[in-house]
């Protein structure tokens, strides 16, 4: 059981004129009108610090808060390892199955962020990995590191190297996937990120590039290990791009042909089971330190023959 959490927001312009109960159901989700009516009756929701009833008309700029009581979180692997530390940055090895940050209302303490802050309370993640992806996550320790590190990712000035195991025919040569990624309506999940085509309904796609190179192939199983490189990542980018290219990650539960949700799937984008590992980050140190050449040993399923787990490899 965790300690509970208080969700806060400053109401945006689009909330103006809405009724509070309608806004809670649409904006914060976490249940239907009956659930939110019960929370309001228990005094868990406040507007400008005053317990709300749900019938209040909203105006932009007002302060809304929900004091969520403690809840039992799903189990997750909590072990993580410190790979690098200086005065500005930390590099942490995240296990597959552990969320990087709280999201979706399920995880709070069972997150990499919470585990790292138990030892380094100043740490802030500069990017995130999907829950099912293992490997390197870079944290900032200072305000200067947050600004400079965020710029590295925003500008594509940091190389992000992954290793994955895919299903499909042998890959003859390295290739690049240039396919925009954006949000699209989903019949049960509201909106999801996926590959988008020009002119399709929904938000415009944002440019995304994934470089893929073959490492080995097992003809008996039709599986290949591949090296993957991206610059500025989009949500689920590697999973979407590999599925769109015809080599989905082994165990991919959600994305299928075209980089869109598998037809008829009951999975969710955050489900786990696929084989993907963030193996290296490479960048000039933005605050004058030695260049960042960070490496995280891959799990057994992604190791190459005769690869020594503890020995760094060139990115």
Q: Give the per-residue pLDDT at 276.
A: 98
Q: Which sequence spans correspond to the domains of the chain?
A: 5-68
Token couple for 268: 């969710």
Q: Give the per-residue pLDDT at 197.
A: 74
Using the Cα atoms of residue 193, residue 195, residue 201 and residue 205 in order, give the sign of their dihedral. Answer: positive
Using the Cα atoms of residue 252, residue 254, residue 259 and residue 264 in order, give the sign of their dihedral. Answer: positive
Q: Give the per-residue pLDDT at 312.
A: 47
Please list the rounded mean pLDDT of every run of 10 residues in the chain (315 residues). 92 95 88 94 96 96 96 94 96 97 88 96 96 98 97 93 97 96 87 80 80 96 96 90 97 95 91 96 94 95 83 43
CB 37 within 8 A of CB 106: no
Q: Where are the beta strands (DSSP E) in 23-119?
A: 45-47, 50-51, 63-68, 81-85, 89-94
Q: Give the per-residue pLDDT at 252.
A: 97
159: how many CB neighbours lie within 10 A of its CB?
A: 17
Burial class (CB in 10 A: 0-12, 13-18, 19+), 279: buried
CATH 3.10.290.10 correct for 5-68: yes
Q: Is the pTM of this model over 0.85?
A: yes
Cα(231)–Cα(170) distance, rounded to whole angstroms? 25
CB 197 within 8 A of CB 144: no
Site of tokens 């509970």? 4
Cα(152)–Cα(21) distance, rounded to whole angstroms? 41
Q: Give the per-residue pLDDT at 203.
A: 64
CB 216 within 8 A of CB 231: no
């Amino acid at each position: 059981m965790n300690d509970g959490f208080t969700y806060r927001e400053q109401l945006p312009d689009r909330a103006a004129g809405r009724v509070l109960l309608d806004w809670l159901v649409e904006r914060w989700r976490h249940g239907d009108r009956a659930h939110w009516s019960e929370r309001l009756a228990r005094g868990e929701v406040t507007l400008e610090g005053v317990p709300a009833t749900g019938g209040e008309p909203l105006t932009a700029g007002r302060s809304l808060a929900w004091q969520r009581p403690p809840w039992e979180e799903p189990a997750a692997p909590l072990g993580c390892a410190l790979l690098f530390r200086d005065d500005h940055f930390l590099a942490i090895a995240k296990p597959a199955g552990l969320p990087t940050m709280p999201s979706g209302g399920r995880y709070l303490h069972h997150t990499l962020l919470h585990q790292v802050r138990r030892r380094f309370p100043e740490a802030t993640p500069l990017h995130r990995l999907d829950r099912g992806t293992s490997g390197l996550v870079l944290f900032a320790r200072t305000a200067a590191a947050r600004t400079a590190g965020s710029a590295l990712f925003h500008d594509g000035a940091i190389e992000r190297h992954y290793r994955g195991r895919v299903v499909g025919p042998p890959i003859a040569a390295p290739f690049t996937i240039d396919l925009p990624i954006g949000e699209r309506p989903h019949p049960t999940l509201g909106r999801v990120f996926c590959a988008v085509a020009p002119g399709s309904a929904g938000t415009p796609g944002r440019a995304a590039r994934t470089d893929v190179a073959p490492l080995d192939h097992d003809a008996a199983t039709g599986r290949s290990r591949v090296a993957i490189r991206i610059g500025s990542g989009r949500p689920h980018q590697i999973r979407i791009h590999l599925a769109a290219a015809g080599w989905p990650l082994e165990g991919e539960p959600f994305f299928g042909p075209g980089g869109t949700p598998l037809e008829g799937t009951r999975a969710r984008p955050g489900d786990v089971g696929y084989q993907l590992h963030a193996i290296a980050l490479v960048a000039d140190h933005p605050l004058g330190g030695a260049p960042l050449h960070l490496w995280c040993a891959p799990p057994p399923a992604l190791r190459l023959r005769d690869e020594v787990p503890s020995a760094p490899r060139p990115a």
